Amino acid sequence: MKKTTFLEGLDDSWTRNGKTVTLRKLLEITKDIPIQKIPISKLSSLALHSNNPDEQENIEKSDLNYPVLIFVNDDNSVNFIVDGHHRVQKAIKHEIPTIGAKLIKLNDLPEDFQEVFGLKHINEAEEKIKRIRDLNKKINL
């Protein structure tokens, strides 16, 4: 099984298969994506939750002025929160109904991001499934 490592903070980075991508680079390539108000109810099930006192402190320190970064599918359905779990948890805790977010289409990411987040392999699998379905339609299965 391939392992993805993650380092937390302003210099967040994710590494997989010897390739590393950074939060700074993600912020740079998504700078033109507009911030949208997203109902917190759509994100609550995706947020990481913890009763750890240190995590609770981090939640309270989080700044809701920064948007949550969310990877979405081509149909804009939410895939996962890549940055902003503490902000989402804070909004839930304080019953804030919406949160600023950038919806980042998975397929619009550079290849290195797709590989690190496992998206390249998901896309390849989806393409194979589509080809099999198309073949089955042609032979009426």
Q: What is the mean pLDDT of each run of 10 residues along the chain (141 residues)?
A: 45 84 91 96 83 84 93 86 92 96 91 80 57 65 51
Q: Which residue has the tokens 């033109």?
A: 32
Tens-digit pLDDT profile for residues 120-130: 555 555 565 56
pLDDT of 87: 94
Question: Among residues 137, 131, 122, which one has the least CA distance to residue 74?
Answer: 122
pTM: 0.75
* 63 contact partners, CB below 8 Å, separation of at least 6: 87
pLDDT of residue 3: 42
